[in-house]
Each structure stands twice: as C-alpha cells, then as structure tokens.
Amino acid sequence: MELEDITEMLDNLVNDNTIPKNIRKALSDAKGRLEGDEEPNVKVSAAIYLIESITEDINMPPHARTQIWAIISALESSK
C-alpha cells in the first residue's frame, strides 16, 4: 500500500464526526507528518508514533480502532 492510500484512509477517519476530537487531531497530525518533506522512514516512524499514542483511548469507537490498526499495519509494511 502506498502512502497516498494511507493518507486517504486517515482522511476518512479525520472527517468522521463519530470519532472524538482528540483522536481526530492525532490522526490529522500523523497525516501531516506523512505529507511532510522528511525522509520516508522518518515520516512513517513519526506517523506510527502519533497514531499508536491513541490506540488505547477508551472513547474510540470500535470501527475506528479496526481502521487505525489497519493503518498502522500498512505503515509498518511500507517502511
């Protein structure tokens, strides 16, 4: 999976109003890192770090948790 596909998945979650604002903010920040000018490995690692910080949030809807783990998996395989 390419980074463009991953940022599209992040966009879908960021625009989902059923997801709490703090989670959408972290996802938006991760998307911003992926779109940055850094080395690809640095961008991916930074995005994974930001996303992993919210994976245990108790307010996260189950559908979002599943999508977030899929995004993390895709990012890890793109390294």
Check pLDDT > 90 for residue 58: yes
Give the pLDDT mean for 44-61.
94
The model's pTM:
0.91
Q: What is the mean pLDDT of the chain?
A: 94
Residue 59 sits in a domain of what CATH number?
Answer: 1.20.1440.50
> Are 49 and 38 in contact, with CB atoms under 8 Å apart?
no
Count of structural domains within the chain: 1
Domain of 66, in residue numbers: 3-78
Q: Which two tokens stand for residue 77?
A: 């395989």
**What per-residue confidence (pLDDT) applies to 49?**
96
Query: What is the maximum alpha-carbon separation in the chain?
Result: 33
Cβ atoms within 10 Å, residue 79: 9
